[in-house]
């Protein structure tokens, strides 16, 4: 049973560019959340998708957007990249109804902005 | 908005020593509390959680945590650590009704167990 898978694992972009990160949730899960983890910090909640809609959002600018597809997979898009966007981006999945309170995380996509 | 503080960023212990990692949160209402762990080279995984009921919660691998509402604390404990407990430990909180959704994490504690 595959867990949460993310791609790509590493990528390098330059300031001003745009990036798309992808996530496939654990089998049986329908809710996907995205987190940003800067070096030496804990993960910060970006947003959550359920039934193809953004349900909750953390304190991130509109440059961060997402999408969820009918097969529950998800994308995170970041526009107009800044140096400060360099971080590990984590995807986590869970089952929306009922929610056990346990998030399953992927290994992350490490983004470096030069 | 809620926040989480983890007091120790780096902890080094010898095998068989007892462990206590501090976690405090700031929110006046009811919260759900979690400890997540990240072993070297692995993804974050849930260690234990508290939603309601008995404030002493037992998790995997012999870990436990105690919720003390009056102190806004949820400290993680283990009576005797092993070398395999070397990992990064994160305390997290969210609000009831959201399950694990929209977690607020602390900065983490890097635990090193020396053989």
Query: Are the beta carbons of A101 and B105 separated by less than 8 Å?
Result: no
A93 lies within 8 A of chain B by CB: no
Ramachandran region of residue A63, left (φ > 0), alpha (ψ -120 to 50) or beta? alpha
What's the token pair of residue A96? 């929306």
Give mean pLDDT, residues A84-106.
87
Local confidence band at A70 (pLDDT 50, 70, 90 cut-offs): very high
Q: What is the pLDDT of residue B2?
A: 79
Q: What is the pLDDT of residue A97?
A: 61
The C-alpha of A3 sits at a distance from chain B's nearest C-alpha, in angstroms, of 10
Task: Indicate the average pLDDT of chain A.
Answer: 93
Q: Which residues pair with B19 in a beta bridge?
A: B78
Q: For the CA atoms of chain A, what is the radius of gyration?
A: 13
Query: Are the beta carbons of A99 and B34 separated by less than 8 Å?
Result: no
Q: What is the pLDDT of residue A95?
A: 87
Query: What does the DSSP assignment read for A8-60?
Result: -SEEEE-TT--EEEEEEPPTT--EEEEEEE-TTS--EEEEEEETTEEEEE-S-
Tell me what percent of the residues of chain A surpass a pLDDT of 70.
95
Q: Secondary structure of chain B: what % helix, strand, coil (to 5)?
A: 10, 50, 45
Local confidence band at A102 (pLDDT 50, 70, 90 cut-offs): confident
Cβ neighbours for A15, distance < 8 A, ≥ 6 positions apart: A81, A82, A83, A113, A114
Judge whether A88 and A76 are in contact, CB under 8 Å: no
A49 contacts in chain B (CB < 8 Å): none
Most B CBs within 10 A among A42, A57, A98, hence the mutation to make, goes to A42
Residues of chain B with pLDDT under 70: 96-101
Give residue-wise pLDDT tens across range A21-39: 999 999 999 999 999 999 9
A32 contacts in chain B (CB < 8 Å): none
């Amino acid at each position: 049973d595959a867990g949460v898978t993310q791609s790509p694992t590493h990528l390098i972009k330059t300031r001003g560019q745009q990036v798309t990160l992808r996530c496939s949730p654990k089998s049986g899960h329908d809710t996907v959340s995205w987190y940003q983890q800067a070096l030496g910090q804990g993960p910060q909640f970006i947003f959550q998708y359920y039934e193809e809609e953004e349900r909750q959002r953390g304190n991130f600018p509109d440059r961060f957007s997402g999408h969820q597809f009918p097969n529950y997979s998800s994308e995170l898009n970041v526009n107009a990249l800044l140096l400060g966007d360099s971080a590990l981006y984590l995807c986590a999945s869970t089952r929306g109804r009922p929610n056990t309170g346990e998030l399953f995380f992927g290994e992350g996509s490490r983004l470096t902005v030069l | 908005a809620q926040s989480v503080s983890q007091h120790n960023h780096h902890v080094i212990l010898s095998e068989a020593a007892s462990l206590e990692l501090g976690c405090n949160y700031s929110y006046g209402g009811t919260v759900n509390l979690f400890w997540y762990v990240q072993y070297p080279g692995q993804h974050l995984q849930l260690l234990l959680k508290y939603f309601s009921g008995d404030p002493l919660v037992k998790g995997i691998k012999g870990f436990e945590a105690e919720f003390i509402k009056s102190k806004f604390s949820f400290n993680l404990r283990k009576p005797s650590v092993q070398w395999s407990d070397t990992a990064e430990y994160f305390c997290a909180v969210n609000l009831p009704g959201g399950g694990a959704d929209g977690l607020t994490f602390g900065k983490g504690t890097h635990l090193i167990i020396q053989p």
